[in-house]
Structure 1
């Protein structure tokens, strides 16, 4: 079919599929499967074929590439990423700029750590301090920015941006002040860090985080998981379900951090090794969990330590279902995670049991065979409600 003068033929084709054939009606073309008078939804590729203009021998073909991008989602991602990256960029520029402008006024070794009374108890070479502080800000900035970008438009973007921005302020402020208190002194031992700066960095971190939270705007609530079919249980009938999940990644992480903490405490300063030991024990608590559904409700307990332990009685359960979760994208990591109106015990990404309470909060735990657990939990909760009525 060759269009005549003034006729227009519009062909819309997906870039991954062959171009459809246009049909001609009344001097215009219509795509197969498209009713007359109705416009077909734009596809990623749009081919517009016009008839020859006056005096031209060949038709004019215009090819337009239209990328379908959800504007709101891109806006949410870019806003959260910017609110995380910009504070770290500002902190890095402020620290490096202050250090370079005061470089000749600093002693060869500067005080980098201070005790509670403000006197120095840790020192570092001038050049080493510059590189260490700059690398720390850049590294944490990249980490928080990637975490926020990976979250996308899911629930948790707002919290990630607030924590990242607050961390940038709380870390950048003392680094800049450290340079200033070391300026124009003969020895690093003369440096003093007034206690008021501790209050200032805490207030600055909280204020910056709150501002990032407000600027991020409201985020969409996660869609409720569809309830699993309730398992019918007769009065007095006993039923229980239990399964154990182990995370090798968390186990190796906990072992490495604990060993590092023990080594630091034994051969170095015990104060430096204590935080590593605490982090190692926290990781160890979530390397393995046992999930149990029985007449008491839902119980999630560590397989290695008596605590933490999470218990949801039957009377507080509104419904349960099976979902697919992205640990990093939806919760920002693994272990016990807290999000607005959501709590998660995550050892991996993938299949998980989702439980909604009567108070509107959702609890998610990654476990296999979650559909069976959800069905039994719904059946037990339904029977409990009948008995209570």
Structure 2
């Protein structure tokens, strides 16, 4: 018996280790960032470090104004050096903070996409700084900056987001699906579901557009011109409006149907009467499958995509579809399905 016990002890020890490892894996919070995700997010701080380092090394050698545009005869317009460094540093810092926030478990589904776009913004800002400041520094104190090959570096850095995108883990939803939510109404009873959805990415993008528009407007006033700066400020201000609209949405599902209203501007984005709804289901929505983020229109279907992840798909009686991103889509889907069944 003793010999038999000694022979089986390694097997029992191995099983114990396997069960312990399985327990650790199963009790780990869903969506928790791994080492690769942390490393990927860390790379988004590199553009800010590059900008800060070059600014510290070059600031005593840079003039008051840096080139902003080049024409056939050389530099065609300039902007204050402090405006350039402040705007670039703000974009790089915002991108790095956005990537760091994406490490929270709730952002796991869209983490890689966030890294991709944050890297694009940071790389673009860093490349623009190296273009205007690097060309000035390399030209010397008494020479006019030449654009040279610096735009090639800018184009290369625009793809910087691919680095954290490829490093980070790909999201795999292996968690067991919860049972379907069932809502039951007694005769003559009705119900309603209302929620407010906030999307920080749209809010930050709107803020960045408004800040850039304000800078361009300042440059136009300073130079006393009404040319490209003023037009650029106007275009960016207009583009900030839809971003601001999608920063906060109020969504309701009741006996009238489904309604989506902008929480800040109060504009109705989508209203679907209950009589026009054939069925409702929950599904994981991928932005690329629906044409991207925001309000998307495609033949036979439309969608309001705020993030990659859960949402509802509404099948209409006319054969079209409407998709909407929601963190907890089970309850509104159940409310609408119950309303449809009660009216049938």
The TM-score bracket by the shorter chain reads 0.5 to 0.7
1:338 aligns with 2:309: no
Partner residue of 1:214 out of 149, 166, 181: 166
State the shift of 1:136 in Å: 3.5
Residue correspondence of structure 1 range 1-389 to structure 2 within 5 A: 70=28, 76-89=33-46, 91-98=47-54, 106-114=61-69, 119-125=75-81, 128=82, 132=86, 135-136=89-90, 139-140=93-94, 142-151=96-105, 154-182=108-136, 183-186=138-141, 190-193=144-147, 197=151, 201-202=154-155, 204-205=157-158, 207-221=159-173, 224=177, 226-231=179-184, 241=192, 243=194, 245=196, 269=220, 270=230, 271-272=232-233, 275-276=236-237, 278-279=239-240, 282-284=243-245, 287=248, 289-294=250-255, 297-302=257-262, 304-306=265-267, 308-309=269-270, 314-315=277-278, 317-319=280-282, 338-340=306-308, 342=309, 355-356=312-313, 363-364=325-326, 371=331, 373-382=332-341
Moved more, 172-181 or 277-286: 277-286
Residue by residue over 1:11-50, the C-alpha shift from the partner in whole angstroms, topping out at 9 and shown as x without a partner, is: xxxxxxxxxxxxxxxxxxxxxxxxxxx969769xxxxxxx
For 2:3, the equivalent position in structure 1 comes to none
Residue by residue over 1:50-79, the C-alpha shift from the partner in whole angstroms, topping out at 9 and shown as x without a partner, is: xxxxxxxxxxxxxxxx9x9849976x4332
Give the Cα–Cα distance (whole angstroms) in 1 for the partners of residues 281 and 140 of structure 2: 65
Give the Cα–Cα distance (whole angstroms) in 2 for the partners of residues 263 and 178 of structure 1: 20
Give the Cα–Cα distance (whole angstroms) in 2 for the partners of residues 246 and 156 of structure 1: 16
Query: In terms of Rg, which structure is larger?
Result: 1
Summarize the Cα distance change of 1:302–1:87 in structure 2 as closer, same or farther, 3 Å threshold: closer
Give the Cα–Cα distance (whole angstroms) in 2 for the partners of residues 289 and 309 of structure 1: 11
Summarize the Cα distance change of 1:135–1:203 in structure 2 as closer, same or farther, 3 Å threshold: closer
Summarize the Cα distance change of 1:97–1:262 in structure 2 as closer, same or farther, 3 Å threshold: closer
Give the Cα–Cα distance (whole angstroms) in 1 for the partners of residues 271 and 125 of structure 2: 34
Instruction: Kindly report the root-mean-square deviation, in angstroms, between the aligned alpha carbons of the 2 structures.
Output: 5.6
SS of alignment partner, residue 178 of structure 1: helix
Give the structure with the higher percent helix: 2
State the shift of 1:219 in Å: 0.6
State the shift of 1:364 in Å: 0.9
Is there any run of 5+ residues in structure 1 with no aligned partner, and where? Answer: 1-37, 44-65, 321-330, 344-353
The normalised TM-score by structure 2 is 0.57
State the shift of 1:157 in Å: 1.7
> Is contact 1:155–1:222 with CA below 8 Å preserved after alignment?
no
> Is contact 2:40–2:164 with CA below 8 Å preserved after alignment?
yes
> Is contact 2:67–2:75 with CA below 8 Å preserved after alignment?
no
The normalised TM-score by structure 1 is 0.52
Summarize the Cα distance change of 1:308–1:121 in structure 2 as closer, same or farther, 3 Å threshold: farther
> Is contact 1:80–1:148 with CA below 8 Å preserved after alignment?
no
Give the Cα–Cα distance (whole angstroms) in 2 for the partners of residues 211 and 288 of structure 1: 32
Give the Cα–Cα distance (whole angstroms) in 1 for the partners of residues 334 and 154 of structure 2: 50
For 1:7, the equivalent position in structure 2 comes to none
Is there any run of 5+ residues in structure 2 with no aligned partner, and where? Answer: 1-14, 221-229, 284-292, 294-303, 316-320
